[in-house]
Structure 1
Amino acid sequence: MRLITRTMLAAAVALLASSAAWAEVSVTYVKPDDYTDVSRSQIERERTLKDFSEYFAKLDKKLPAGQTLKIEVLDIDLAGRFYPRRNGEDIRIMNGGADWPHMHLRYTLEQDGKTLRSGDDELSNMSYQERLSGHYSSDPLRYEKQMLDDWFEKKIVPKVAAR
């Protein structure tokens, strides 16, 4: 009985110690009610930001252990344009013209309390409908996620690999 307790205690301590080495991505939304293009509906806006938060959280798997990426979203302009409908629900139309996705981010990549990289970036994808994406066509944010993937691979991953 005592051996099991010690083993479980040792496992818990090891787990806590290793959790400090995990990579982490955190995101905050600065004044989301003022964003260029997120639904007027409070429910839809919350759903969109939750979807983005879940997606940003998955980026931690691409970071080395012990690194933290802090992202502040300053503006979002989704692909396409919203058009109001009589029933109160907006419909998003994407025509591939001047309606490409755009995001304004501020970020800091840290390890052991030291800043490895930081910046203030304007992301956009003018050819958003002309490229294949690794995201499902049923994903309403597939073009924005593709744009975020490009940004992450270009700005964050090369710096991570250089360490």
Structure 2
Amino acid sequence: MNMLLKKMALAGLFALSAGGASAAVTVAFSHPEKYGDLPFSPSDREQVLKDLGEYFVSLSRDLPPGQELRVEVTDLDMAGRIYPNFRGQDLRVLRGRADWPRMALRYSLESNGRVISSGEENLSDMAYLERINRYSDGDTLRYEKRMIGDWFKNKFVVRRQG
């Protein structure tokens, strides 16, 4: 898991070095072995964290130039419940009951090196199966991405009046 954290930190550095005026998002996963719900397989766990990290970084396109968002994910409970499959591949079952996606995180938003917003958030999407989702059915993190994207848009994206 340490290798994944190093890769995510390296990805964050690349995002930062893209230019002084560009926006950036960096993400760290704090003690993922203690998260409420991740796949059983170590390679699947690493892939989930990698994909979520890349998604967070992709959100930088919606930040104003010169801003940097630092996110530390402290807990994750993915949509659905996972069951081991006798064929060796885990099976995630989505029922829409008490199995909605949840994420706990800390964040800090900086503008030109000055903190302009920070805090802790508990994200959740209790109606995850009842809402339209722009991510494809084949995206295994479609509900988590929508939850994160909604939070990001509501918290950080400046609404243009016009």
**What TM-score do you get using the length of structure 1 for normalisation?**
0.84
1:65 aligns with 2:51: no
Match of 1:142? 142
* Distance (Å, rounded) in 1 between the aligned partners of 2:76 and 2:143: 12
For 1:1-163, list aligned pairs within 5 A. 19-158=19-158
Q: Any idea what SS the aligned residue of 1:106 has?
A: strand
Distance 1:18 1:93, change over 3 A: closer
**Deviation of the 1:157 alpha carbon:** 1.7
* Distance (Å, rounded) in 1 between the aligned partners of 2:144 and 2:72: 16
- Where structure 2 has 5 or more consecutive residues not aligned to the other structure, the ranges are 1-16
- Say which structure is richer in helix: 1
Distance 1:38 1:114, change over 3 A: same
Aligned partner of 2:108: which letter?
A: T
**What TM-score do you get using the length of structure 2 for normalisation?**
0.85
The Cα RMSD (Å) is 1.8
Post-superposition Cα deviations, 1:76-122, rounded to whole Å, max 9, x if no partner, equal: 00000001122332100000111000000100000111111111000
Match of 1:12? none
- Where structure 1 has 5 or more consecutive residues not aligned to the other structure, the ranges are 1-16
Distance 1:117 1:89, change over 3 A: same
* Distance (Å, rounded) in 2 between the aligned partners of 1:119 and 1:75: 15
Distance 1:19 1:42, change over 3 A: same
Between structure 1 and structure 2, the one with the greater Rg is 1
**Deviation of the 1:138 alpha carbon:** 0.9
Moved over 4 A (4+): none
* Distance (Å, rounded) in 2 between the aligned partners of 1:74 and 1:153: 20
**Deviation of the 1:54 alpha carbon:** 1.0
Match of 1:3? none
Aligned length in residues:
145
Post-superposition Cα deviations, 1:32-62, rounded to whole Å, max 9, x if no partner, equal: 1110000121100000001101101110100
**Deviation of the 1:137 alpha carbon:** 1.2
Identity of aligned residues (%): 46
**Deviation of the 1:18 alpha carbon:** 8.0
